[in-house]
Amino acid sequence: MDDFLERAIALKQNLIDFVLDAEGELATSLESYSATQLAQVASSPAHNLMPYEMVIESFLTERRVQDKTPIDLFLEHESQLTEGDRQLLKQWHRSFPGLFVVTQVLPNGLELMNWLTAKHYLVQVTEAQITRLTAGEILLTYLTPVTEQQWICSKMIGLGKLGKPKLAVAIGNFKQCYGNYLYSDAPELLTEAWRSVEQYHQDFINFFGTDELTLPGYQWAKQLTAFQEVLTQRRLEAAGIDSSKSLSQLAEEAGLSPEEIANAGQTPIKMVNPPVELPNPLKKAEQVTALTHPRWGQTFLSTYWSLKSILDAQQLEPGAETQILQCLQDPQVNAYIWHRLAQQYPVALEQILQSVLARPAFNLETDLDPLLQEFNKPLEPVLPEIASVPLHLHELFQEALLEVSDKPKSKVKRKPAMGFQP
């Protein structure tokens, strides 16, 4: 390893030590940030993907203290840094976490591929790290740029050589832990994914006539099948494909799979929309509410109808208090939904939360967001499950699902879901 790379590695460690040794506002900010991040995954299977070292890495670029990142504060504090050091540090705002596969073990480093974006990186690591790795292993790490072609990393979490079902689960877990970093090294993919969420929202309203609809679960299953057919029809028309023929006929004529035909004409970027499906636990529910939003995506809830009934009644019937608490704890009842209820029932929601939480001074306008954070609900959306995904990820999820479906049921412990769901 050359002197420049050794200096970069030492500088990165000095930056981390600076943050860990900090006092005052920076220390308080780190404590608050790490507590929030770790609490969001504490009871999740994804928790092993967020060790404290990775939290510190994201803190370096995500958090601001007096409108400055920890990197900015380090630059101000360390007056003896050379101009080369300073230029290097200023690049580190481009650092990002990823789930990588080792494509090659090189004499002085690794070639990694980011599974989310299929982009490749040359990463310098220590000799001790190289000896423990072989091609095909999956790693979680934080990449930090040194030059346009070379990167370094600090902690690496080795997940081993994963089969497709376990890899699909790992990618879903990564989204849960690092949702703000999806496609961070491929902004064109992120833009297209968010565009697909907006398009889905509009398609839903065009088909159902509203952004909120409650139906029995069995009816939703039928309605979503019809909705899916309309979405497929629109893609076929956009691609100039004869929609009077079945997908199997078109696929046979074109030498393509039915899925490739269904997703034709979407975008020059190879992105694929996941299927629209009602979660299995809700198919037999008496009342299921679907809500859609251009940023928060689509949510199906069996509790929303009764939650609104409680607010309409403006009083707590037996069992209502438990239900309110369960909705606060349920990650599916996200911040957008609580803000929606706050707009529709400002007085009733404030009074009921005062009673349920035993907080008579609770003010909906000023205290709702802190309450949602207290229950580990992000205040900003991450890319929803309905967003389009790169073709290589879609194919991975499909193949993983097929592998699991082909196994004897007695041996199947967990079935990976579609999209990014772990």
Specify the pLDDT at position 186. 92
Q: Is residue 268 part of a domain?
A: no
Specify the pLDDT at position 223. 94
- Are the C-beta atoms of residues 243 and 163 closer than 8 Å to each other? no
Q: Which domain holds residue 107?
A: 3-181
Q: E-strand spans in 197-259?
A: 212-215
- Measure the CA–CA gap between 137 and 129, rounded to whole angstroms: 13
**Nearest residue to 262 (alpha-carbon basis) of 286, 237, 290, 289:** 237
Q: Phi-psi region for residue 209, left (φ > 0), alpha (ψ -120 to 50) or beta?
A: left
Q: Is residue 189 part of a domain?
A: no
Q: Is residue 44 part of a domain?
A: yes
Domain count, the chain: 1
Q: What is the pLDDT of residues 325-369, one digit of tens each?
A: 999 999 899 999 999 999 999 999 999 999 999 999 999 999 999
Specify the pLDDT at position 367. 97
How many Å from the N-terminal Cα to the C-terminal Cα in the chain?
A: 38
Q: Is residue 17 part of a domain?
A: yes
Residue with tokens 């840094």: 81
Question: Chain-wide mean pLDDT for the chain?
Answer: 86
Q: Is residue 127 part of a domain?
A: yes
* Confidence check: pLDDT of 414 > 50: no
Q: What is the pLDDT of residues 59-75, one digit of tens each?
A: 998 888 888 999 999 99
Specify the pLDDT at position 112. 95
- Are the C-beta atoms of residues 272 and 231 closer than 8 Å to each other? no
* Confidence check: pLDDT of 182 > 60: yes
* Confidence check: pLDDT of 94 > 80: yes
Q: Is residue 343 part of a domain?
A: no
Specify the pLDDT at position 271. 84
Q: Is residue 313 part of a domain?
A: no
Q: With 0-12 CB in 10 A as exposed, 13-18 as middle and 19+ as buried, what is 81? A: middle
Q: How would you label 20-58 residue by residue, b for 16+ Cβ within 10 Å and e otherwise?
A: eebeeebeebbeebbeebbebbeeeebeebbeeebbbbb
Q: What is the pLDDT of residues 97-121, one digit of tens each?
A: 999 999 999 888 899 999 999 999 9
- Are the C-beta atoms of residues 131 and 102 closer than 8 Å to each other? no
* Confidence check: pLDDT of 385 > 80: yes
* Confidence check: pLDDT of 131 > 90: no
Q: What is the pLDDT of residues 288-299, one digit of tens each?
A: 999 999 999 999
Sign of CA pseudo-dihedral 197, 334, 141, 395: negative
Q: What is the pLDDT of residues 148-164, one digit of tens each?
A: 889 998 788 889 999 99
CATH number of the domain residue 91 falls in: 2.40.50.140
Specify the pLDDT at position 311. 92
**Crossing angle of helices 335-344/346-357, nearest 10°?**
120
Q: Is residue 312 part of a domain?
A: no
Centroid of chain to Cα 82:
38
